Structure formats: structure tokens, C-alpha cells
A and B are shown apart, each in its own frame.
Chain A
Amino acid sequence: MKRFPHPTELLERFGLVGLLVILIIFFSLNPATPQFATVLNFTNILSNESVLGILVIATVIPLVANEIDLSLGPIAGLGSILCSGLMSKSGWPLWAAVVAAIVAGLLIGCVNGLLVARFKINSIIATLGTSSIIAALVLAYSNGLSIVTGISPALIDLGSGDWLGLPKTFWFFAAVAIIAYYFLEQLPRGKDLRAIGASPTAAKLVGINVSRLTIQSFIVAGTIAGGAGVLLVAIQGAGNPQIGANYTLPAIAAAFLGATAIQPGRYNVWGSITAVFFLAVSINGLTLWGAPPWVNDAFNGVALIVGVGLAVYAGKIRITRSARSDKEEQTPPPTVTEPELVSAATSKQ
């Protein structure tokens, strides 16, 4: 028996998608932004947002367990400087440099996970700490200079070329999204991770290994962020020691805003991706319209606060709505629903 979703439920789920579509139509028709509706602009958005998108998905994974990882931007920065530096300074082959960047992300994720799950340090504090340490490592390794020479042309080609008409980097983003979706929604482990996010104590009492799974979520996030660092080199054609921390706020903002869409009330992959493109299209459109560069930061900040605010508000509404639909079906006498449930339960046996 499938119940037709309540209209406000539909609005909640697809409101952000609708807003995104309206924005695209608006900027496409707006005579002041003729460059918006061009193939070049769209491929630029897809390509530019790939790295952010991957980092947002990495952010979502520990968030599902209710842990915030602020170090994912810096890990990507480290990955980029390590990948480019090892090729440029030490002459490592591309594959080894790529593996090194990813392993670095994995190890930092492991440290984050241990700090949070074993030493019980609040995840915001722990990852803020590791962020600063990563920044120090990057500065020590690069002396604050970009690494522009000796980077494998194959890697740079990856950053500019396309497959099937879409930027190559976008395909990496899509792959990470699908794998993360599969992990979070289709594997028992993903469901366990959500249970931890809802109540770590209750999760422990149903036999979930809370600390191990929490550590794993940080490791997966760190590993993905390390890989995102490699894509940064591909897109920029250089290792940039400044770039990592710039991703932290937009990634967190999109992850929180994403929890208000598709599967409202929970951190989810598709909602987060919608949020990434909603923010990207807004900022891109406004910039083409002549908005000053600070609009970027302002937008991300507002999105973060609105996202968290909406999540709190929507959560309350959902409880009242669920309670109301319960009451409606219980009165008059509950005997009306119970035989229905019994027959539904027995007829399928």
C-alpha cells in the first residue's frame, strides 16, 4: 500500500531542485547575463564544481554519523601539493604521486577518526586541529610557493579534456557520488552509520561497533579528499599551497543545505549535489550579472545558516505531521486500522 506523498512533503523534497531550475531559467532569459546559457559556461560550472562536489560527498559521510570533518579541504590541498611536489621535486612517476596523495588523505582520516572515536575529542575541535597541522605541513613542504613545473602532462590533460561531451573531472565526481550513495543507502554498513548519527548510545546497544565505524567514516572521507587533491592539480595544472582551506566552508554549507532536499532531515548524497549546483549557479549567475566578488563568501555563509535553520524547522514540522497522521488514522476506534494491518501482514506471507 503506497500512500500518496503529502504536498508539503513534495515541496520539502524537491523545493531546492525547483529553485535550481527556476534560477537556471531566470539567468538564461535574463538579457543582462547573455553568457550564462552557453555550453562553455555550463561545462565550466561542471568542471569547476567537480572538486567541491567530491569534497561535499566526503563531508557527508562522517556527517551521517553526526561528526563534522573540517579538515577535508586542507587534506585536498595537501594532496595537491604532495602529488605535484613528488613529481616535480622528487621525480616520482604519476601513479606513485597519485597513490601518495591518496594515502596521505587516508592516514589523516585515520588520525581524525582515532581522535574522535578513541580519544572522544569533539570532531569539530579535532579536525580544526588537524587542519592547522596540515596547513603547517603544506607550508613546510612547499615554502608557500606553487609547484608549476614537472607535472605529468597526462594529469593536466585529465583536467581539461572531456569524455562524452562532459568534462573528465565531472565523471570522477559522478563516480564518487554513485559509490557514496551505494555505500550510504544500499549497504548495511551505511544504515549502521545513520543509526550512530541518530543515537550513538542506542547504536552501541543494538550491537553496532560504533567506534570502529566512526573511524572508518573519517578514513573514507580523508581518502576521497586526498583523491580530490589530485584532481585539483589536474584542473589547475599546478600544486597550490593556498587553496585547501578555501573549500572547507562551501563544502560544509552544501552538505548542510543538502540535508533539506531529496531526503529532507538527513545528510544525503543527492541533496548535497543539488545544493552544490544551486550555490554554483547562483554565484555564477550573479557574477555574470556584475555582482562583486564578495558575493561568493556571503552566499556560502547564508546558505550554511539557512540550511541548518531549515533543518531544525523542518524536523519539528515532520514530527507534528507524523503525529497528526497517526492520530487521524487511530481515531475513530483503532480497530479500524488494526485488522487492515493484520490483513496486509498476513496476505503477503
Chain B
Amino acid sequence: MSEKSVVESPRIAIAVRGLSKTYGSTKALDDVALDLRWGEVHALVGGNGSGKSTLIKILAGVVSADAGELTSAGETSELAHHTPVESSRAGLRFVHQDMAILPLLTVTENLGLGGRFVTGRFGRIRGRSNRAHVQKTLARFNLQVDPGARAATLATPQKALLAIARALQDIDETKRAILFLDEPTAALPAEEAAELLRSLRELADAGHCIVLVSHRLDEVRAAADRVTGLRDGRNAGTIDAQDLTETNLVELILGTEMPEMSAIETVAFGDDYVVDVRGAVGGPLRGATVRVRPGEIVGLAGLLGSGRTELLEMIFGVRKLESGELHFAGQRVSSPNASTMSKLGVAFLPEDRAGGGVFPGHSIATNMTAGQNRKYFTGTRMSHSRLMKDVKEDIVRYRVKASGPSALIESLSGGNQQKTALGRCLRTAPRLLLLDEPAQGIDVGARETVMTLILEAAKSGTAVIVASSEFEELTRLCHRIIVLSNGRDVDELAQGTGGHQILEAVLSQNKRAKQ
């Protein structure tokens, strides 16, 4: 490939050409090109397994490419021999999804991690100079926090900014960086995500290049100047902001238009409630009331800290109900705990897959049947063959893409792990299904499957409560939406309420609560 193929332009930050990488028999990246410009927010989109993370790992120098060139500051180098040191010298900086902010360390210590302290002789940290450097860095990134405060006390957007500040602190004002952020807003509710995106825009306006990896399409549309899509390891195209529509963005990721959603039907519900929580108090909750009927999907909307997750945990009995009443199928449950609630027919899908949704190191079969083994006990032994046969059917039913029931859960993409975890909840035909951010951090295709499965469950009579920070999701799923603010249910929105209206309701309630 000739050097001339990269157009020399002062706007080009880096250009990648002909990048390929093969793992075993799978082509993770196949002749991929990427142009990044100074001063832009560039979104990188693609389904799970599209090659986004491999691309980023190669640019960071932690994975070596099979072929490909990187042009930076007029110099072209082979990506096969790219190292982390060269990556850093070229101004590339990375903030990973978990941000690597250690909660028990102070802001100063977090900034200094990874050899970034100001040090003197024998590697001693020079207290005064380091403090001055930290003050300067915090001011530069508009972070109004106490340098001595533990990171745990920071709000999530501040933690993200701290991670960004750590990545960029050695780039002085005269230089420019190319900053890669892997789903920085995945854990943030809408308002805080918007705040972080504003900060990213400021960085881009200051001349840096921001590369944003995101699954949130609305966010990509709102924030990006240009969008590059990857599909099955190949370039799916790059679209400028002015040409961006929801349709062509989804096409960029999926290659087809978004499949028709089975819209929820209007159903007349009776007066029998599956679950009826009255005045729940505990943790951030200060008297929340929610009731759900068979076949009904009730959404919980609210900002972070409004008590969405905690209310679900309380109903499932993993969080203490300090005061208030929980009624299940007309019976009062005096001291709910997870075992009794499961036996009553409640299933809970937590927000955090790695921390409670799946059983790492185990097969799909084990993951699907965990806690349900009594079903396969013949009286003398476990019927392994019956279990495997059921799981094989469930893999098809819940549309998990995997080689079979014995595949390890880690070998699946995030979306398929989530389908497995949801399948485990659904296969017991629960009377009440509690879902916390069921479609978080999974690609568009998997999201559609998850939503369809939830709708199908409700149609067969399961009562569903779903907490989500993605309001469009609630619009499409729910018969009713309860707005939570500061631990109380403050509003109820009817079926079909649009995402923007939900956001308005949430924000207005939050303002009212603060006054």
C-alpha cells in the first residue's frame, strides 16, 4: 500500500489502513480502515463480536495485528509491531469501561496510579509538587473535588472525568490527544450521561479527538460528529452527523433495518395483584408503593439513586424491608428472603451480569439450571440427560447463539450471556419477573430478542417489573411506568408514554423533590 493513500491533512489525527487480525479460524478484523480527525467526537459502533474491542486493543498496543498500518503525525508504522509505548507517544489514550477508579484510594492516588505520580530521587513521591500537579489537573478538567477524598465518595460522572483526567494529564495544553472511551455512559442514567457527553464535547472543542464506543443509539446521534460502524470485522461505513438517522445508524450496525417490534397490546387487567408493595422503606427507599397484576409489565423510571434497583432487591428479599408491607398473591410475606421468594415463583435478573447474573467458569447448562436442580433429581440421582435435553431446547427458545449446552458462559458474547441469564429466569415460568436494566450493554440484535422474550412472558401471564435508565425501552415494554424520585413513587405514566415525556417527568419530579 502506498503512503499516498492517506490524504495528508492537518485535520487527520491518525489513519489506520488495512488492519487485519485473525484468532484461530475467526477473522476478528478484516482490512479495516479508520480515519480520526482532531476536534471531533467520533463514535465507533457495532454489535458484539464486530471487532470494536480488538481494534482498540491493537491501537493500544496490547494485542498485535496480523497486518495494517498506522499513520500518525506524518509517520507510517506497521501495526504488527505496535507497542503500548508507541501508542502513548502517538497521543493515544484509553479509558476502559470499568474506568479502573479504585474506590478506596483518594483522588490524588487514583490520578497517580500507573506511574503517574510526580516523583523525586529513588522514586519517592514528591508530596508538594505532586499536590500542585493534581490541583492543576483537576482544574484543567473542571473537576471540583477534594484531592484527598476517597474516590468512592465521587458521583459516577465525576469518576469518569477522573479516569479521563488520569489518561490525559501528561498531555500538556500545547499537545492534542486521541482519547478512546469504551461505553463510558453504560452505567449512567440519562441526565448524568448527558453531563459526561458535554464534557467530552468540551475536550473535542479544545482540539482533542474523542473516540466513543457506545451501544446507546440516541447518545451516538446526539453526541457524535461522525460514526464509523464495524460489522463482522469489516468496515460497514462512516456517516457524518448531518446525514445520521436512526434507520441508517441501525443499518450500520445490523446491516438490515430494525426488525418490527411486537407492540404491546392494550389489555384489561383484573384486580388481583401478584405483588403489592406498600410504603417500602429501607436504604434509599422512603415509602415506595408498587403493585403489579398478572400479565402486566410495570416500568420503574428514575435517576440513579432514586431507589429503582433497591426496590427490586427488596421485593426479592435480598434487601431488608425496614418498614412497609409486601403482599404476594394476596398473602402477606412478613420477612421476605431470596429462597422463599424464589419458591413463591419470583425470578430476579440483576443489573450486573458479571457480579450476579451469570456463574462464571460454568457451562450454559449449569447457568440455565442453577438453583433449579431439584427438577432433575430422580429421587436417587441427577438426570443429566434430561437436563441437557431441556437446555438444548431452551437454547433455541431463548435464541442463545452457542455451540451447545456445554459451551462455557465466558465464550458467549454479552448479549448471549444475558439471554442465558434471562432464560434461566423465564424457564421456571415465574409468576413475577424482576428485571434490572435487562438490555444494558448488549447489542441491538440481542436487545430486540430480550425485549421480545419479556413481552412473550407477560403475554403468558407473568407479572413483570422492569427498572431501566433507557426510557425508550420502557415506552416499548410497559403497560404502566412508575416514576421514582428520592425513594418514593411520585408519578405514574400511562402506556405509550414516549421517552422524552418520561425524561421530563423524571426530571421535573427530581427538581420538585430538591426544592
Contacts and interface: CB of A to CB of B under 8 A. Distances in A.
Contacts of A202: 350, 356-359, 370
Interface stretch (B178-186, B283-291, B403-411, B495-503): B403-411
Nearest to A337: B403
Given A203-B370, A341-B396, 17 more contacts: A182-B381, A185-B382, A187-B377, A188-B374, A191-B373, A195-B362, A198-B360, A201-B350, A202-B370, A203-B359, A203-B371, A207-B338, A208-B371, A324-B24, A326-B402, A328-B403, A348-B389
Given A185-B382, A322-B411, A206 B370 contact: yes
Contact of A206 (B360, B361, B371, B374): B371
A192 B373 contact: yes
A186 B381 contact: yes
Nearest to A324: B24
22 contacts: A188-B374, A188-B382, A191-B370, A194-B362, A199-B355, A199-B359, A201-B350, A204-B356, A205-B318, A205-B356, A207-B371, A319-B410, A322-B407, A323-B410, A324-B25, A326-B407, A327-B24, A327-B25, A341-B395, A341-B396, A345-B393, A348-B389
B226 interface: no
Interface in B404-441: 404, 407-408, 410-412, 424
A320 to B, nearest CB: 8
Interface in B344-358: 348, 350, 355-358
A322 B408 contact: yes
Nearest to B26: A327
A132 interface: no
A323 B412 CA distance: 7
Contacts of B361: 198, 265, 315
Given A188-B382, A341-B395, A348-B389, A204 B407 contact: no
Given A201-B355, A345-B392, A319 B408 contact: yes
A283 to B, nearest CB: 31
A342 B366 CA distance: 20
B241 interface: no
A325 B356 contact: no
A260 B356 CA distance: 26
A338 B372 CA distance: 26
Contacts of A331: 25-26
B187 to A, nearest CB: 17
A334 interface: yes
Contacts of A342: 396
Contacts of A297: none
Contact of A204 (B23, B318, B373): B318
A105 to B, nearest CB: 28
Contacts of A341: 392, 395-396, 404
A209 B359 contact: no
Interface string A97-138: 000000000000000000000000000000000000000000
A330 interface: yes
Contacts of A322: 403, 407-408, 410-411
Contacts of B338: 204-205, 207-209
B313 to A, nearest CB: 9
B382 A191 contact: yes
Contact of A330 (B392, B401, B408, B410): B401
Interface of A: 3, 182, 185-188, 191-192, 194-195, 198-199, 201-209, 265, 315, 318-320, 322-331, 334, 337-338, 341-342, 344-346, 348
A195 B370 contact: yes
A186 B382 contact: yes
B341 interface: yes
B236 to A, nearest CB: 17
A198 B365 CA distance: 14
A330 B400 CA distance: 12
A96 B407 CA distance: 51
Contact of B359 (A3, A198, A334): A198
B343 interface: yes
B373 A207 contact: no
Contacts of A334: 401
B428 to A, nearest CB: 9
Contacts of A330: 401, 403
Q: Which has the most chain B C-beta neighbours within 10 Å: A208, A319, A331, A345?
A: A345
Contacts of B371: 192, 195, 203, 206-208
A333 B361 CA distance: 27
B382 A328 contact: no
A2 to B, nearest CB: 10
B358 to A, nearest CB: 6
Contact of A205 (B24, B350, B362, B395): B350
Contacts of A324: 23-26
A199 B360 contact: yes
B26 A325 contact: no
Contacts of B380: 186
A328 B316 CA distance: 40
Contacts of A191: 366, 369-370, 373, 382
Contacts of A182: 381
A319 B360 CA distance: 10
B199 interface: no
B339 interface: yes
Contacts of A346: 393
Contact of A188 (B25, B341, B373, B402): B373
